[in-house]
A and B are shown apart, each in its own frame.
Chain A
Amino acid sequence: MKKLFLGNEAVARGLYEAGCRVVSSYPGTPSTEVTEFAATYDEMFSEWAPNEKVAMEVAFGASVAGARSFCAMKHVGLNVAADPLFTASYTGVNAGMVILVADDPGMHSSQNEQDSRHYAMGAKIMMLEPSDSAECLDYAKRAFELSEKFDTPVILRVTTRVAHSRSAAETADRVDNGLKEYTKNPQKYVMVPANAKGKHVIVEQRILDQVAYCEKEAVENGLNKVEYNSKKIGVIASGICYQYAKEALGENASYLKLGCVYPLPVDLIKNFAAECEKVYVLEELDDYLETHCRKNGIEVIGKEAFTLQGEYSQSLIAKVILGEEKACLKTDVNIVPRPPVLCAGCPHRGLFYALKQLKVTVSGDIGCYTLGASQPLGMIDTVLCMGASVSALHGRNLADSANAKKSVAVIGDSTFIHSGVTGLINIAYNATDSVVIILDNSITGMTGHQQNPTTGYNIKGEPAAAVSLEKLAAAVGINTVIVVDPYNLEETKNGIQQALEAEGPAVVISRRPCALLKTVKHNPPLKVNKDKCKSCKMCMKIGCPAISMKDGKAQIDFTQCLGCNVCSQLCKFGAIE
């Protein structure tokens, strides 16, 4: 059957058809939907793990036990999982093991633009890169076959435009060959120096074998593809850049499309380049393919004509290679920017307003609440990576202990479990007067509502064990734990104040479910009584997208307002009803 698949949905379908049995992931845009769709197939055990490192280790264990296994993560998630990655390369697999990594050129929803192809090269692990949904499905299946053929995990790399585009793909039935037998083999699976030395030799030989495969067999089976049209222009590309090139250049160019981006063939590229007059390497982010070409003495045009930043497109390629630009319409309308904002009714808003009143320095983290950095709240001082709010606050307070009572960390429930808890243990153990605020909105919000170990539900929405944040904080040695409701501004401000004044480290749990959760009941929208409104704009200090000024008076958009009552607590004239 042919249907439109989101790239990530097609990967999940490929897992299903390949007989994959265990899927473990941590959500992260643009990778999240793979695991959400995987969870719709009952034949695969799917789960949200606390973080990417755990997810990859789960997949490793399942592979050794004999089940085809999978884990998915965004590019920065692969940093978290880099430890198991580099050594799983040495152990290899029993049943096939596939790792999806989703890069985000252009940073649609990420804190950096790193290029995960370097991980394939660094860890010496084969990497495939699909360019549309049909290939997402096909390459997921090939990845399992190659994993077993070469006794290695295989990485499937997608970028945002492949992960989040829909295109047609054909489905097939699931083939499940059952659990593969596990045989105890310490030389293979116990990575102590004596065994790892032997395995490293095998890994280097494996790469040579894979290069030979990429030169010949991969061309025969269509993974690496040569298409000759006009030979005036030659294009070497993989993934979405191949599609952009086809759109821009059509039959005016010849193409070498690399489905496998690590390891790379040499002769295949040399022979293709020799046939073409001018050869362009089209790749987003780093000059990865280009460097390989140059290292092997192949003359190509790459980053000197394009860019290391952001996304490529058909128009960029047409402009650089053909010198063509499309005519477009212009207006003189002043286009006011529209940055993302905390939603109307978001429980984080009240918390950030309370922090603003307390004039504290805020060590921030990754999630919806990163938007607390935006104006008019502007209450985040640093954002680095998942979990860093907690550990960096400890560092700040070690450096400037006199001001420890004037700084806090903010971290979401899911991010806290991901990697904030280790930082909290450090705070308790190494004793700084740090105040950590856990923004418990009962869900993983930014990536679109995934359950996590604190919510009490698993990926299928079935009841599950729930971490008690209060007990966890107490268990690691935090003696002051205060719970506040961020819809109540006074209570929230007092709770944080109390934590700052307490002796030793403290945890504040700001608890209120995400307003977008279907289970959350909303109050009727609020209205401004125009007679009582004195136009003081106090209600606008919280940056709620439902509130604006019209004809000199505040007004509330009834389509957006969820009746959270945070703004009405700011109005001294009782004008918000």
Chain B
Amino acid sequence: MNKSIMIVGVGGQGTLLASRILGSALLDCGYDVKVSEVHGMSQRGGSVVTYVRWGEKVASPIIEKGEADIILAFEQLEAARWIEYLKPDGKIIVNTQQIDPMPVVMGAAEYPAGVIEALKATGADVQAIDALPLAVEAGTSKAVNVILIGAMAKSMDLDKEIWIKALKESVPPKFLELNLKAFDSGYDA
């Protein structure tokens, strides 16, 4: 049976790195893997989504409504935007960070309140993480993505060493120690 994970967030948050690390970890485990990314215009602070699918043989690289086993959301509003894509018995890991979209910045709309509660009310398995302070503690606010990768790793049935290897292959050596620290922090969150 094929499995599907969606990684959603705001352009610039580092969702692509997360999907790449997940993709190589899964390939290392011997699965057929497909990862779908979006580049270009929507990366400029827009809502971004990447799909990761794996199993014995994967055909489609994309995930549709009601198909994701796990959603990893880098931002609250994005979690709510994509919740329809989760299987009714799926799990959503959500970073509680809020990034105001332009209609909110302009005062044309309000950032919705009570998103985490609303996610829980759907019946989904919700894990909320405040990743930004953990990232700052690990050394930089830019490590939010690696904190969240750590949290996702905890929810998946893969050997931790495989994740560490994929991480090593994906980040520059001089930032490895910082990233390993961030990964552990997310894994234990």
Query: Are B88 and A327 within 8 A (Cβ)?
Result: yes
B44 CB, nearest partner CB in chain A, Å:
4
CB of A569 within 8 Å of the partner chain: no
B17 within 8 A of A: no
Q: Is the CB of B84 within 8 A of A328?
A: yes
**Would you give the 0/1 interface string for B106-135, flagging 1 where the beta carbon is closer than 8 Å to chain A?**
111111101100110111100000001000
Contacts of B40 in A (CB 8 A): 29-30, 108-109, 446-448
Contact B102 A4, beta carbon cutoff 8 Å: no
A161–B36 touching, CB < 8 Å: yes
Q: Is B34's CB under 8 angstroms from A340's CB?
A: no
Residues of A within 8 A of B61 (CB): 132, 161, 165-167, 240, 243
Q: With CB as the reference atom, state the residue of chain A lying closest to B65.
A: A328
A327 to B64, CA, bound (A): 11
The bracket for how many chain A residues form the interface is 35 or more
Whether the pair B60, A247 counts as a contact (CB closer than 8 A) is yes
Bound form: Cα–Cα A396–B32 in Å? 55
Cα distance A329–B104 when bound, in Å?
25
Query: Restricting to B11-48, which residues have a CB under 8 Å from any CB of A?
Result: 11-12, 20, 23-24, 27, 32-47
What is the CA–CA distance of A29 and B80 in the complex, to the nearest angstrom?
Answer: 28
Does B33 contact A168, Cβ atoms closer than 8 Å?
Answer: yes
Cβ of A62 within 8 Å of any chain B Cβ, yes or no, is no
CA–CA, A244 and B63, complex, Å: 10
| Residue in B86, B109, B114 whose CB lies within 8 Å of A336 | B109
Q: Chain B: interface residue count, which band?
A: 35 or more
Q: Is A109 a contact of B39 with CB atoms below 8 Å?
A: yes
CB distance from B65 to the nearest CB of A (A): 4
Min CB distance, B130 to chain A, in Å? 14
A 85-125 contacts with B by CB, 8 A: 108-109
* Interfacial residues of chain A within 415-446, with CB under 8 A of chain B in the complex: 446
Interface residue from A4, A337, A559 paired with B33 (Cβ < 8 Å): A4
Residues in A with CB closer than 8 Å to B119 are 331
Cross-chain contact B106 with A340 (CB below 8 angstroms) = no
Residues of B within 8 A of A557 (CB): 99
Which residues does chain A contribute within 8 Å of B123, judged by CB atoms?
Answer: 329
Interface window among A42-50, A274-282, A539-547: A539-547
The verdict on A534 contacting chain B, using a C-beta distance below 8 Å, is: no
B122 → chain A closest CB, angstroms: 4
Which of A11-19, A285-293, A369-377, A484-492 is near enough to bind chain B?
Answer: A369-377
Does B100 touch A at the CB level, under 8 Å? yes
Measured CA separation A314–B4 after assembly (Å):
14
State A6–B20 Cα separation when bound (angstroms). 10
Report the bound CA distance from A487 to B32 in whole Å: 49
Residues of A within 8 A of B38 (CB): 108, 160, 164
Q: What are the residues of chain A within 8 A of B88 when measuring CB–CB? A: 327-329
- The A interface, classified by DSSP as helix, strand, loop or mixed, is loop
A443→B23 CA distance, assembly (Å): 30
Q: Is residue B78 within 8 Å, beta carbon to beta carbon, of the partner chain?
A: yes
B81 interfacial by beta-carbon distance below 8 Å: yes
Q: What distance in Å separates the Cβ of B91 from its nearest Cβ neighbour in chain A?
A: 12
Q: Which residues does chain A contribute within 8 Å of B36, judged by CB atoms?
A: 161, 164-166
Contact with B along A529-569 (1 / 0, CB 8 A): 00000000100100111011100000001110000000000
Chain A residues within an 8 Å CB radius of B46: 338-341
The distance from the CB of B57 to the nearest CB of chain A, in whole angstroms, is 9
Chain A residue with the shortest CB-CB distance to B32:
A168
Contact with B along A325-355 (1 / 0, CB 8 A): 0111111111111111111000000000000
Write out the residue numbers on chain A whose beta carbons fall within 8 Å of the beta carbon of B158: none
Report how far A528 CA is from B114 CA in the complex, Å.
27
Judge if B62 is at the interface, Cβ distance under 8 Å: yes
User: Residues of B contacting A332 with CB < 8 Å?
Assistant: 118
Considering only CB atoms, which chain B residue lies closest to A2 in the complex? Answer: B27
B152: Cβ under 8 A from any A Cβ: no
In the complex, how many angstroms separate the beta carbon of B180 from the nearest chain A beta carbon?
22
Separation in Å of the B39 CB from the closest CB of chain A?
Answer: 6
Q: Does A300 contact B (CB under 8 A)?
A: no
Known: A329-B123, A543-B106, A548-B100. Contact between A336 and B111, CB under 8 A?
yes
- Binary interface encoding of chain B residues 41-79 relative to chain A, with 1 for a CB under 8 A from any of its CBs, else 0: 111111100000000001111101111000000000110
Do A109 and B41 touch across chains, with their CB atoms under 8 A apart? yes
Instruction: Tell whether A476 is near chain B: CB-to-CB under 8 Å.
Output: no
B79 smallest CB distance to A (angstroms)? 9
Given A314-B64, A327-B66, A543-B106, A108 contacting B42 (CB threshold 8 A): yes
Q: Are A375 and B106 in contact (CB under 8 A)?
A: yes
Is there a chain B Cβ closer than 8 Å to A497's Cβ?
no
- Residue in A161, A314, A340 whose CB lies within 8 Å of B45: A340
Residues of chain B lying within 8 A (CB to CB) of residue A3: 27
With a cutoff of 8 Å between Cβ atoms, the chain B residues found around residue A335 in the complex are 77, 80-81, 112
B127–chain A nearest beta-carbon distance, Å: 16
Q: How far is the CB of B179 from chain A (nearest CB, A)?
A: 17
B187 interface residue, CB < 8 Å from A? no
- B10 in the interface (beta carbon within 8 A): yes
Q: Check A246 for interface membership: any CB of B closer than 8 A.
A: yes
Q: How far is the CA of A338 from the CA of B41 in the complex (A)?
A: 12
- Closest partner residue, chain A, to B12 (CB atom): A343
The distance from the CB of A544 to the nearest CB of chain B, in whole angstroms, is: 8
Q: Answer yes or no: A368 CB below 8 A from chain B CBs.
A: yes
Q: Contact at A549–B107, with CB atoms within 8 Å? A: yes
* With A161-B36, A246-B59, A315-B65 already in contact, 9 other A-B pairs whose C-beta atoms are closer than 8 Å: A164-B36, A166-B34, A166-B37, A167-B32, A331-B122, A338-B47, A339-B101, A545-B99, A559-B141
Can you report 16 residue pairs joining A to B where beta carbons are below 8 Å apart? A2-B27, A29-B39, A164-B36, A166-B20, A166-B34, A166-B35, A328-B84, A328-B85, A328-B86, A333-B118, A334-B109, A343-B12, A368-B44, A375-B102, A545-B99, A547-B105
B→A interface (CB under 8 Å): 10-12, 20, 23-24, 27, 32-47, 58-62, 64-67, 77-78, 80-81, 83-86, 88, 99-112, 114-115, 118-119, 121-124, 132, 141
- Residues of A in contact with B (beta carbons under 8 Å apart): 2-4, 6, 29-30, 32-33, 108-109, 132, 160-161, 164-168, 240, 243-244, 246-248, 313-315, 326-343, 368, 371, 374-376, 446-448, 537, 540, 543-545, 547-549, 557-559
